[in-house]
Structure 1
Amino acid sequence: MPKRRLVCPSPLEDAGMVTASKPDISFLIPAYNAAETLADCLGSLQKQSASNWQAVVVDDGSKDDTWNVLQGFAKADSRILIHRQANAGAAAARNAAAEFATGPLFCMLDADDWLDPAFIDSMLPVAAGGPQPTVAYCSYRRVTPDGRMLSVEIPPDLAGNRAKREFSSFCALAIHTVVFPRDLFIRMGGLDVELRTCEEWDLWLRMAFAGVSFQQVEGCLAFYRMKAGSLSGDPLKMLRDAVRVTSSAQALSLKEGLPPNDEDARWTAPALGQLRMLAWAASVNLCGEDELAALAELLPDFPNASGYESFLTEVILHGLQIGRKVARSDELIDLLELWKPAFLDLIQLLERHSLPGTGRRVEELVVWSISASDMSRSFALGHLQVVAIDIDKLTWITKVDGADTLLLHVFAGGRYVGSHVGPLWGDLSIHAQVRLIINELQAEDRLPAPLTFSYARSWATGAIRNARAFSEIMRQRGGRRKRLKHLFKTIQLTALVEAAVNWREADAGLPEAATHPRQPSAAPVVASADEPAETAGKQAALSEATTKKEYWERFFERPDPWNYVSVYEQVKYEQTLGLIPEGVGKALELACAEGLFTIKLAQKVGFVTAADISGRAVERATERCRGIANVELRVLDFVEDELPPEQDLIVCSEVLYFMDDEASLEQVCRKVAATLKPGGYLVTAHAHLRRDEPDRTGFDWDNPFGMGTIKNVLSNLPDLVLEETIETELYAIHRFAKRNTARPVVHIAPHGVPLDANVAKCIIWGPAGVDREVAWTNEAVTSIPVLMYHRIALDGPDSLRRFRIAPETFRKQMQFLRRQGYYALTAESLTNLLREGKPIQGRPVVLTFDDAYLDFLTDAFPILAENGFSADVFVVTDKVGGRSDWDAGYGDTAPLMAWGDIQSLHRQGIRFGSHLASHRPASSLDNATLLGEAALSRDALESRLGEAVRSIALPFGSTDFRVPGILAQAGYEIGFSTKPARTSFADHPLSLPRLEVRGDLPPKAFAELMGQPDAFIG
């Protein structure tokens, strides 16, 4: 803790002048060469609506007439106490004043500032109220030397723990806007006299960590005089003191044991607070390259500013406005040449220490903020050229040297029409401007349509050119009105452009931005990540079947439709055999399919009659059982046909789901029971279905019921009694006996693993959730969660832990999505739905994976497949088959998928898009380089995958005003950033936000990310 000293003062010059009544508040006022401003300061106290105050003024070694002025005030007003000392700094002077102050509340007022008449009456009730120490604070205004009032500066909300976070990063309160208890000031040890600046910040910080309550008082009640030679004019001193205070904040946080992984910790890191002070002080004082270098050396750790661009923009703009003494940001345009060199030097400093492109992003945000204040002004700064045009007065626009980004504000007759941002390639002809107005702003109705010969000729020429199209439309029977309207509009727009353009100008033009025609799209298809195209065709054929028999014949067109040889089915077979008693003579197997279980059953019984409704299935079973003497195969519909009587055993598994309703089920079960001999057995195996048992793990098949209902129906038959059960998480196997009594036995057993993907994708794990079909019917959304993943792995550098999800955690996340009724959209289907602009049915989610790590193939894809989800993977095309060298600075790099891996996954339903070719941030590339890399990356993917690629996710989420337009020119239709939000119809299709799924957060964070914080996640 830094050393603080409360100065023991010498006796007051006139002790008899001390006020007799005890004041409600004492103002601690240091005065150094303040003769010219003391009248305003002390006069504002004398004008207070509350009169019971005290001012203790310490002359801190002034060389002007300060002391004489103070003596005059003290003789005229007994509430003003004065003291004189050798120059020791403002902190020491306030500590000295505190020794004389007798009020229970303090306020630290500078000798050149003043207060509103209502200050005391407004602040005291808050600061004096309550059993706990309370700090009251208010807003204030800066006043320029010539008396102009700048904007009101409103402090942040400091309730609760927010005070600790805010003061850990910067000084959130002006010194004279705060009222606090005298006892608290003494307990804190007063001000740190070793700080020449930031001493009040240090005091507020210590108060916050002492658990003091901060409460805001509405209104602007304080005024700050801006003057030359103030301590804020020494950026080195300010930054040096800020480093000390922020380091102290970190020590206090560690001492208190605040969680280091708190999401707010990044905003309170000392490095960020220090960078904030550097940017502000440099902007106020217009520090040049050498001064900036000196400031940078004071930072123990210069932070990467990527991700903090918006935050730094506010800091820099505030500093520029304060330093230039202007109230509005657009006033900076008139002073542009004054502050531009220092600003660009600051941008270069940020760029050198941050992710490439960070400086550009800050630059464009500053320009946007300034321009938004007055869109009628044209100017250029750095890479950006701002142009304001009036549609009625279009003229050639010359590109400014160094500019590669256009910010165009369009007016018509002085009224604002809209703005366009995008890449700037060269001069803008009138022709290019009109194209932008039409294509980008859809403001063709604001273009003049003059009744001139030129316009009429253009209209007529367009009509002649489209005569054939007109004739074809007229020959069509339906939709003619809509097509004619579109044709006439096209002709009119062409005529407008030609009429507006002075064709004597050479057209240096802007490359035309890609347009996105709205096209209707079908509802999204819920499909497995590994479902081949022929499966969809098969489902369509099944849905067209007219009879039950035809349905099953079509079902068995492909051999082994159930994947009988899987571990899951084989384990179930063995468990079923385990319930078959010894000594069975005649056995009937219903729904035997292709006879795999029939062979096993024949080894345990005397004779087996195996039957199935499908002739195709029975043919294959006959071939499989050829040579087995105790097996007979039949084509039989056990619902409609007579069953062979007098059976010792009937096996009827995985088929009773297909009854139409519970009444049909009961009728069939009675029929089966009647076929058994007295003392005979029925063995049946069926799965748990979520529809039947919603509170437990089960399959989401659309059958009317599952094992729960089947078991209940069989148990309620008077002829049968349940003897033995094998219960697993996914299914149960029961043995019923045709007798009067039995003592049921239940065995808990595991199911076979690993599960085949086509089985696993139908399972919903865990407790009750939301049925996908119910959500599709009852819900519609206008925003979609697009989830961003990187690696699904356990290994890797600790510093990259946030970008890794453990496979088992990922499995729980996918099971959560299935349980809550989500279905996966691909980027392509999302594009179509966004174009359509209508609410989207059900609960859609888009799963995206950046970088194409090899662990997507080995760990992510199997989990996606077993949950029936598709995904989009974004590939760094120049790095395919290599390693993630962009991670080299953090530790070992990770392997990436090869082209063969990508092609294999593509055949199984995974979609692929571009992650650029080199993994460089897009904002670090010039226009031509970015266009070339984006186009080459897309071409590489298309040539390998054999289909169009229209999606892209930018490395590091790095984007700027130019990027969407350049990506459109490269042929992309949908692009993803890292802006943390759900995607909505209002978002630009080439800069859609995504929600990052982090690996360094607890499991519940995923449920919170999906907006369901209380939902079970496993």
Structure 2
Amino acid sequence: MPMVSIITPAHGAETTISSTLESLIAQSHPDWECFIIDDGSTDQTAEIADRFAARDTRFRVLRQEQSGVSAARNAGLAQAKGDWVVFLDSDDALAPFHLETMLNHTRTLPQADILHCGWRRLKNGAPWWQSHPAVKMDNPFAVAARYCPFAIHAALLRRSRLAEVGGFNPEMKMCEDWDLWQRLARAGAEFAPVEGLMADVSVEAGSLSSNRVKHLDFGLKVIRRGHHSDPRIAYPVPALAQGITKAALGMACWYLAIWLVGASIGQGDNPVELLDRVAEPIPPDADVYAFCAIMIDGIVVGAFPDEPIWPGLWSKIQDKLPDLEAWLDRHAPQEAFGSLLVRSLERKVADQLPTNVPTTIGRTRIQPIDLDQPIVDLILPGIERLRCCIWRGSTLLGQLEFVVFGAIEADAIRNRLRREFGPEFDDLNHPAAALLAEDGFVNLSDQDDGRAAASMAAPSYSGVAQQVLKLMAKVSYWAEAKTVTGWWSKKEPTPTRVDSISGMAHAGRAEFDRIVEEESQRAVAASTQMSMEMPSKKTGPVGDEVPRYDTEAYWEELFSQVDPWDYRNNYETVKYLQTLSLLDDRRFSNGLELACAEGTFTRMLAPRVDNLLATDISASAVARAASLQDHGSAVAYRQLDLLSDALEGPYDLIVCSEVLYYFENREKLQQIVDKIAGSLRTGGWFVTAHANLLIDMPHETGFGWPHEFGAVGIGEMFDQHPDLTLSVEAKSPLYRIQRFEKVELGGFLEPTRVEVNTAQPLPLQVASQVRWRGGQVVEAAADWNDVPILMYHQVSDDGAEQLARYRQSPEAFETQLAFLRDAGWRGMTLDRLLACFDEGAKPPEKTLVLTFDDATRDFMTHALPLLHRYGFPSSLFVPTDRVGGSAIWDSAYGSPAPLLTWEELAAVANSDVTLGAHGVRHVRLSALAPESLLRELAGSKAMLEKRLGREVLAVAYPYGDFDPAIRDIAEQCGYRIGLSCVGGTVRADADKLALKRQEVFRGISQSEFANLLFG
């Protein structure tokens, strides 16, 4: 009995079957049998097979009416006697040592049911395009549920396993081998790779099936089965019975579809029919760069081009790309997905081209520049990206990439050369350039090769195109150019006058300036003219104001206007509620409120006190408070001067907030302390809330009001009174709420101290007066210490499961901040980091920057209070056209997160937060045509500056999607800092417009978090 049975179906294979069968005769392992199944051939296939059978008894020929390859293989399998089976198509061949190598591995891997080697394509007998080496599959079913893992004759299969799953499915007219691998994997078959061996697949023009619709339909059927149950498998592995997670279905379908789209384009067909057949939507997390790589593989395999593949193949496929781009832009959940795919395709193709030959791929131009020659203006109508390959003689020094607006001036290229390569590469004094300038002429460099291909369907930047065309019409060389999308003559270019070319090159700069100015004016027009002046409402003294707070006249003047301090804002309301929380559940018989103002807190306190007396020095305030009291309320109102009038009592509760620092010295405050202590009965409580002032804690967050004491000083004086002891303190970054209890002489209580958050957003009149972290600036060190920039998105428990990676729970975020504080880390603002670069200052050890992308509302409600509590500044990056809306770029995952409004951003901007730009629409910048790109960068900067009245110097590239050309446009827009999503820390030699960041993902452990801090 032979060890291995080889099954070879054949139909119309008279030109290839002989070499296939000869490869079997040449095998170093002789113990095999081969069944040749003639599937209704009408040519000489059967006769050739008969001759081999007559020549070698190991061959047997079976005949059947044409029933398809699956039925043919099953017929051979029914006759097979070997323990192992190889399926070898009639146009392929095995290397002489193939069977021996594979069978040797059956002895070293006795548990394996399927051994599989790598595979590659052969063109004219030589390896062609990409090879696919064998890889170990940790989960073969998960692989086979998504794609076909190997070529059919790369596998050696245990025959008994094939019998268990029933062989091939005759209903599968294509992808039948993939379907078999998937069923075997679901049934628990063991797969094992055989490394270092390749199965060869012979290819020739037309060998790829042109029936891509059938290929797609059957391929999708296999994929969908892999994500669901399969009733054909009687005894699946229990964990695989229902298939793999449905969440992966869409991506697998589209990976297959996009490969076939590429093959369709490569064969010269329109791909839209294929795109319309995929029922599954494109996943919102589809990776355009993965799509691009898959599609290029499909294009090349479908086209079967001669070497070199590019740029010749581009000219054959480019007219099919606009339809693809438009379809994807309409149907993909990511904005401009099709545009990004096609642009990525262009640049990927350009990467494979020589750098010493001028070439145009779509809207990307490869332009060699020899530094031994003068650098000239380049006129590039229809070109979006210019890739300058910098040569000196025969040495390639590097590449520069530019976003261009139809033309680029030589000075722009020179400036980039200076920045990238240093002044030694400056050609300003090049003698050839001087001679040309004296003659008044330069040549349009390689304009004969220029092509503004119509392969891109992005919006055109018509302004510069029109200017360039008008100028071109005046220049003799361009007079015969038909359109900006045509091929130009290959004849030697005629010299063109310098002034004409300079005009065309200047048109590119003029277009840039026009767009920037339009965005600036749009920002002015859209601005709500939010006043950045100090509002009339007050929270404390302004400037050098030193009034007589202890006089009735001051307070009467203040309360001549209604609600002068905006008592009803969210900040005050939360503080009132926190004050009430210190009362626990206790009910009071007699209470006294000092400095009740207009009674806002009085009305909240009244239900807790049987008899409440509310007092204020201002008669106007008392009258207004009384007029606003609830009907039937048991509150009495009285004018009272805290210094001169008696408090009476005794009381169970006295409340006095936001007034005691207005007494001009500690002697007067001591009088008040004594009065209050004397008016409380034993066991009674005194509750007070006051702001944190810098006079108490110069290096911590607080207000710089010109008083002798703040909350800390006031609290200390009450705590030092022999009859009072501090029992509870609720501390926030901006104020403290304290509860003192009157005790018997010498009594003491161990105080309970809690941290509370301030309400957000802070009112502008509050936030604008805060000196965050005492106004301290991180000092310079002797040596540069690398700075980690941590990147967050949301701090929230709520949101789509697929986006959980980008969310920190508030509890986890607080744990991280506590770790940073306890480990000695300090926060640095982006402005200070920029100053380190500009001034040569060096950041000290353990200094970091915290950044948040997208400006979701949870930044204000969850992240910001914790940042304030732990004393860290932060930076927030805002997509300006989405402000006040939601993160619609995530809408495919579910309900998108709400974003901050302009009013909230204005408050946040005064709350130790640096605001930066995150584009206008939150789109991938590399997907955009030059005009759209510029509007995203210039427009977001202008809108933030006009709306919020402050300079914006930082941009976080949406999705981290940028390249050197985009970085250059950001710099031209006035940004000084650009943040990427590339991991790492900021070194002294870092490019300020391409700084690295460390993403803090959900579920990160403390050790992983600590590792982020050191790159």
Cα distance in 1 for partners of 2:409, 2:782 equals: 52
Flag the 1:279–1:43 CA change in 2: closer, same or farther, 3 A. Answer: same
Over residues 71-101 of structure 1, what are the superposed CA-to-partner deviations in whole Å (9 max), with x where a residue is unaligned? 1211222222221111111121111111122
Cα distance in 1 for partners of 2:136, 2:306 equals: 25
CA shift at 1:925, angstroms? 4.4
Over residues 127-147 of structure 1, what are the superposed CA-to-partner deviations in whole Å (9 max), with x where a residue is unaligned? 454453342222222122x44
- 2:212 aligns with 235
Cα distance in 1 for partners of 2:843, 2:6 equals: 61
Cα distance in 2 for partners of 1:223, 1:754 equals: 70
Contact residue 375 and residue 427 of structure 2 kept, 8 A: no
Contact residue 786 and residue 993 of structure 1 kept, 8 A: no
Q: Secondary structure at the match of 2:37?
A: strand
Indicate whether 1:404 and 2:363 are aligned: no
Contact residue 266 and residue 302 of structure 2 kept, 8 A: yes
Indicate whether 1:331 and 2:312 are aligned: no
Contact residue 150 and residue 326 of structure 1 kept, 8 A: no
Indicate whether 1:1010 and 2:1015 are aligned: no
Out of 789, 792, 808, which is 1:787 matched to? 792
Q: Secondary structure at the match of 1:157?
A: coil
Over residues 660-683 of structure 1, what are the superposed CA-to-partner deviations in whole Å (9 max), with x where a residue is unaligned? xxxxxxxxxxxxxxxxxxxx9999
Contact residue 178 and residue 222 of structure 2 kept, 8 A: yes
Cα distance in 2 for partners of 1:988, 1:142 equals: 44
CA shift at 1:270, angstroms? 4.0
Cα distance in 2 for partners of 1:1012, 1:253 equals: 45
- 2:114 aligns with 135
Contact residue 429 and residue 505 of structure 1 kept, 8 A: no
**Matching of residues 90-489 of structure 1 within 5 Å:** 90-144=69-123, 146-151=124-129, 153-155=131-133, 157-161=135-139, 163-230=140-207, 232-252=209-229, 265-266=247-248, 269-288=251-270, 292-304=271-283, 307-325=286-304, 331-354=309-332, 355-373=334-352, 374-394=354-374, 396=376, 398-439=378-419, 441-447=420-426
Structure 1: runs of 5+ lacking an equivalent: 1-21, 459-500, 515-533, 538-564, 576-593, 605-614, 632-657, 659-679, 689-697, 701-729, 739-744, 759-772, 1014-1018
CA shift at 1:889, angstroms? 7.2
Contact residue 242 and residue 274 of structure 1 kept, 8 A: yes
Q: Secondary structure at the match of 2:391?
A: strand
Flag the 1:824–1:617 CA change in 2: closer, same or farther, 3 A. Answer: same
Contact residue 779 and residue 843 of structure 1 kept, 8 A: no
The one-letter amino acid of 2:142's match is R
- 1:506 aligns with 501
Contact residue 367 and residue 384 of structure 1 kept, 8 A: yes
Flag the 1:182–1:313 CA change in 2: closer, same or farther, 3 A. Answer: same
**Matching of residues 546-565 of structure 1 within 5 Å:** none
Over residues 156-204 of structure 1, what are the superposed CA-to-partner deviations in whole Å (9 max), with x where a residue is unaligned? 634312x333322221211111222111211121112112221111112
Over residues 297-320 of structure 1, what are the superposed CA-to-partner deviations in whole Å (9 max), with x where a residue is unaligned? 321124157641221121122123
- 2:977 aligns with 974
Over residues 740-768 of structure 1, what are the superposed CA-to-partner deviations in whole Å (9 max), with x where a residue is unaligned? xxxxx999x9755745699xxxxxxxxxx
Q: Secondary structure at the match of 1:435?
A: helix
- 1:624 aligns with 672
Contact residue 382 and residue 406 of structure 2 kept, 8 A: no
Cα distance in 1 for partners of 2:245, 2:826 equals: 29
Contact residue 777 and residue 841 of structure 1 kept, 8 A: no
Flag the 1:181–1:626 CA change in 2: closer, same or farther, 3 A. Answer: same
Over residues 606-661 of structure 1, what are the superposed CA-to-partner deviations in whole Å (9 max), with x where a residue is unaligned? xxxxxxxxx99853542323557979xxxxxxxxxxxxxxxxxxxxxxxxxx9xxx
Contact residue 205 and residue 249 of structure 1 kept, 8 A: yes
- 1:525 aligns with none
Q: Secondary structure at the match of 1:913?
A: strand
Cα distance in 1 for partners of 2:267, 2:1007 equals: 44
CA shift at 1:567, angstroms? 9.0
Out of 837, 844, 848, which is 1:844 matched to? 848
Over residues 217-260 of structure 1, what are the superposed CA-to-partner deviations in whole Å (9 max), with x where a residue is unaligned? 22243211113443533211211111111111111499966799
- 1:765 aligns with none
Flag the 1:855–1:685 CA change in 2: closer, same or farther, 3 A. Answer: closer
Q: Secondary structure at the match of 2:909?
A: helix
Structure 2: runs of 5+ lacking an equivalent: 438-495, 514-539, 544-574, 586-641, 653-662, 680-696, 698-721, 761-777
Contact residue 114 and residue 156 of structure 2 kept, 8 A: yes
- Decide which moves more: 256-265 or 207-216: 256-265
- 1:78 aligns with 57
- 1:953 aligns with 956
Q: Secondary structure at the match of 1:200?
A: helix
- 2:628 aligns with none
Q: Secondary structure at the match of 2:900?
A: coil
Cα distance in 1 for partners of 2:2, 2:422 equals: 67
Q: Secondary structure at the match of 1:406?
A: strand
- 2:492 aligns with none
Contact residue 38 and residue 45 of structure 2 kept, 8 A: yes
- 2:8 aligns with 29
Flag the 1:950–1:127 CA change in 2: closer, same or farther, 3 A. Answer: farther
Cα distance in 2 for partners of 1:210, 1:1010 equals: 41
Flag the 1:164–1:619 CA change in 2: closer, same or farther, 3 A. Answer: farther
Contact residue 418 and residue 425 of structure 2 kept, 8 A: no
Flag the 1:110–1:887 CA change in 2: closer, same or farther, 3 A. Answer: closer
**TM-score of the pair, normalised by structure 2:** 0.64
Cα distance in 2 for partners of 1:870, 1:567 equals: 27
- 2:18 aligns with 39
CA shift at 1:102, angstroms? 1.7
Flag the 1:377–1:188 CA change in 2: closer, same or farther, 3 A. Answer: farther
Aligned residues: 773
- 1:673 aligns with none
Cα distance in 2 for partners of 1:799, 1:938 equals: 32
Q: Secondary structure at the match of 1:625?
A: helix
- 2:967 aligns with 964
Flag the 1:55–1:857 CA change in 2: closer, same or farther, 3 A. Answer: same
Contact residue 952 and residue 976 of structure 1 kept, 8 A: yes
Flag the 1:159–1:271 CA change in 2: closer, same or farther, 3 A. Answer: closer
CA shift at 1:155, angstroms? 4.0
Please give the root-mean-square deviation of Cα atoms over the aligned residues, in Å. Answer: 5.7
The one-letter amino acid of 1:286's match is G
Contact residue 33 and residue 62 of structure 1 kept, 8 A: yes
Contact residue 141 and residue 220 of structure 1 kept, 8 A: no
Contact residue 568 and residue 756 of structure 1 kept, 8 A: no
Flag the 1:357–1:943 CA change in 2: closer, same or farther, 3 A. Answer: same
Out of 850, 860, 864, which is 1:861 matched to? 864
Flag the 1:454–1:430 CA change in 2: closer, same or farther, 3 A. Answer: closer
CA shift at 1:880, angstroms? 4.1
